[in-house]
Amino acid sequence: MGDLWVMGDVHGERAGLRTLLQRAKLADFEDNWLGDGATLVLLGDLMDRGPDGLGVLRLVRRLEEQAGAVGGRVVSLLGNHEVMMLSALRFRGRRGLGGLGGDPYGLYDYWKQNGGRVRDLSQLEPDDLEWLEARPPMYRYADWLFVHADSRLYLTLGHSIGRVTELTTAFLRASTPENWVDFLNAFAERELYTAEDGQVEASEMLNVFGGKRLAHGHTPVFVLQGLPPSPTMAPHVYAGGLVLALDSAMAYQKGAGFIVRLETDPGRLDSPGAQGILETVHLTERVMVAGGR
């Protein structure tokens, strides 16, 4: 198995994404894939909040194509911001523009209030839209289960990755505004695994969908840790060691951001204490200042 690299919510921070991919040797300075047979998983929420969501989306699509041509893989999951952006387009954007029935639930405003950038939306091409609608909600690799949100949404949709994916894709292509609202509300839920029975919830996810550890984005690590944000925030392991939180809060805290390389060897995650993080690359390196001489 090739290397496995994973990154949480990028939220329009194209410059930070480029720097992290360069430091991880997954891309060069001209945005070409350098990862050979490696797998890169992005946990969703590529856009909104930060300045260049469309630029992030196009960069990910470019690397996905280049990686695929050399036996590598880029997997970009569906986040709730991808769904919000699609809903804004459908009910108010070029596709709908007041469309049939308009926007009775204010989905366009909901997207904008959550950091939606009109410039990103107005420049989306039909093939970007098709790509967005095809984002998988879940992904399994080695002993890892990857999802965007620390929400129960996935279990309520179905009991296999195939079924959840099928329902999600069908939903994104044809649905009533009421269903969009319900889906977005369920997707926006968070902190499922910090509750008292968080470890039980995590075990259920892993029993149903497979894998020994669950990795998610969506809720920034500083929120889960109850700490103020800082540029040196690191991946957060919790829920009895079963869950790894990877939203590095790039759009919330200047200088924040990280990408991790995870364990892929079979059996290495069997011991309960194994965290499975082989390497963490930060956007802001910790600088040690020599004291005295």
In contact, 198 and 238? CB cutoff 8 Å: yes
Which residues inside 25-64 make contact with Mn ion, applying CB under 5 A? 45
Shortest Å, Cβ 84 to Mn ion: 9
Tokens 């260049």 -> residue? 52
Q: Which amino acid is at 245?
A: A
Give the residue with the Cβ less far from Mn ion, 90 or 190. Answer: 190
Residue of 138, 143, 140, 119 whose CA lies nearest to 52: 119
27 vs 233, which CB is nearer to Mn ion? 233
Q: Which amino acid is at 144?
A: W
> How near is the Cβ of 29 to Mn ion at its closest, in Å?
29
Q: How far is the CB of 149 from Mn ion (least distance, A)?
A: 6
Cβ distance to Mn ion smaller for residue 76 or 80: 80
Q: Does 218 bind Mn ion (CB under 5 A)?
A: yes
How many residues touch Mn ion under the rule CB under 5 A: the total is 4
For the record, the structure tokens of 124 come out as 């989306």
Least distance in angstroms from the C-beta of 148 to Mn ion: 6
Stretch that binds Mn ion, among 10-18, 80-88, 258-266, 268-276 (CB under 5 A): 80-88
Please give the DSSP secondary-structure letter assigned to residue 287. P
Q: How near is the Cβ of 30 to Mn ion at its closest, in Å? A: 30
Q: How far is the CB of 111 from Mn ion (least distance, A)?
A: 13
CB of 9 to Mn ion, least distance (A): 6
Residues sharing a CB contact under 8 Å with residue 223, sequence separation 6 or more, in sequence order: 191
Residue 250 CB, shortest distance to Mn ion, in Å, is 12
| Of 19, 80, 165, 194, the one binding Mn ion by CB under 5 A | 80
Q: Does 150 bind Mn ion (CB under 5 A)?
A: no
Nearer to Mn ion, 26 or 251 (CB): 251
Indicate the residue among 80 and 87 with the shorter CB distance to Mn ion: 80
Q: What is the largest CA-CA distance in the chain?
A: 73
The span from the CA of 252 to the CA of 222, in Å, is: 10
Q: DSSP alpha helices (H): ranges in the chain?
A: 14-23, 53-69, 80-91, 107-113, 118-122, 126-133, 153-157, 161-173, 177-188, 198-209, 221-225
Dihedral sign for Cα atoms in the order 50, 51, 52, 56: negative
Task: Note whether 19 binds Mn ion by CB under 5 A.
Answer: no
Of 160-199, binders to Mn ion (CB under 5 A) are none
User: Which residue of this chain has its Cβ atom nearest to Mn ion in the complex?
Assistant: 218
- Segment interacting with Mn ion, rule: CB under 5 A, options 61-69, 73-81, 111-119, 200-208: 73-81
Distance CA 256, CA 283 (A): 6
Surface-to-core class of residue 95, CB atoms within 10 Å of its CB (0-12 exposed, 13-18 middle, 19+ buried): middle
Question: With respect to Mn ion, which residue has the nearer C-beta, 46 or 142?
Answer: 46
Q: Which C-beta is closer to Mn ion: that of 3 or that of 45? A: 45
What is the C-alpha separation between 286 and 83, in angstroms, rounded? 36
* Residues paired with 41 in a beta bridge: 6, 75
User: Contact 28/71 with Cβ under 8 angstroms?
Assistant: no
DSSP assignment, residue 292?
A: -
Pick 73 or 81: Cβ nearer Mn ion = 81
Which parts of this chain interact with Mn ion (CB under 5 A)? 45, 79-80, 218
